[in-house]
Amino acid sequence: MESSNMFGTQKISRLLLKLAPPVMFAQLIQALYNIVDSLFIGKYAETGLTALSIIYPMQLLMIALAGGTGVGINTIIAAKLGIDKKDEADEYAGVGTPLAIALWIIFAVVSYFIMPFYAKVSTSSEAVIEDIITYGRIVCVFSVGIFLESIWSKILQANGDMKTPMFAQIIGAITNIVLDPILIFGFLGIPAMGIKGAAIATVLGQVVAAAIVARKGFHVSPSKDKYIPYIKKIFKLGLPNMLMQSAYTFYILGLNLILSGFSDQAVTTLGLYYKWQTFFFIPLSSMQTCIVPLVSYNYAAKNIERCKKTIITSVIFGMLLMSLGTLCFEFIPVEMLRTFTTDELVVEIGKIGFRFIGVSFIPMVTSLLFPVFFQALGCGVKSSILTVVRTVVLFVPLGFIFSRFGLEWFWLTFPVTETITTIVGILFYKSFIKNPYKNNFSY
pLDDT score of 190: 81
Residue type, 348: E
How is 303-340 classified by DSSP, letter by letter?
-HHHHHHHHHHHHHHHHHHHHHHHHHHHH-HHHHHHTT
CB 362 within 8 A of CB 323: yes
Count the Cβ atoms, other than its own, within 10 Å of residue 419. Answer: 17
- Please state, in angstroms and rounded to a whole number, the distance separating the CA atoms of residues 30 and 43: 20
Residue type, 418: E
CB 217 within 8 A of CB 156: yes
Count the Cβ atoms, other than its own, within 10 Å of residue 118. Answer: 18
- Please state, in angstroms and rounded to a whole number, the distance separating the CA atoms of residues 410 and 310: 35
Nearest to 152 by CA among 64, 70, 88, 65: 70
How is 332-388 classified by DSSP, letter by letter?
-HHHHHHTT---HHHHHHHHHHHHHHHHTHHHHHHHHHHHHHHHHTT-HHHHHHHHH
- Please state, in angstroms and rounded to a whole number, the distance separating the CA atoms of residues 276 and 286: 16
Around 244, how many Cα atoms within 13 Å sit in the side-chain half-sphere? 28
- Please state, in angstroms and rounded to a whole number, the distance separating the CA atoms of residues 283 and 31: 12
Residue 341: phi and psi, rounded to 5, are: -140, 155
- Please state, in angstroms and rounded to a whole number, the distance separating the CA atoms of residues 136 and 128: 12
CB 326 within 8 A of CB 361: yes
**DSSP 3-state assignment of 222?**
coil
Residue type, 313: T
Q: Which residues lie closer than 8 Å to 342 by C-beta, 6 or more apart?
A: none
pLDDT score of 149: 92
pLDDT in tens, 21-38: 777 777 777 666 666 777
Per-domain residue ranges of the chain: 3-434
CB 60 within 8 A of CB 248: yes
Q: How far is CA 350 from CA 341, 358, 364, in A?
A: 11, 12, 20
Q: Identify the segments of the chain with pLDDT beneath 70.
A: 1-9, 30-35, 42, 46, 244, 438-443
φ/ψ region of 223 (left if φ > 0, alpha if ψ in -120 to 50, else beta) reads beta
- Please state, in angstroms and rounded to a whole number, the distance separating the CA atoms of residues 78 and 426: 25
pLDDT score of 1: 44
For the chain, give the number of residues. Answer: 443
What is the tally of helices (H) and strands (E) in the chain?
A: 18, 0
- Please state, in angstroms and rounded to a whole number, the distance separating the CA atoms of residues 75 and 81: 10
pTM of the model: 0.67
pLDDT score of 8: 63
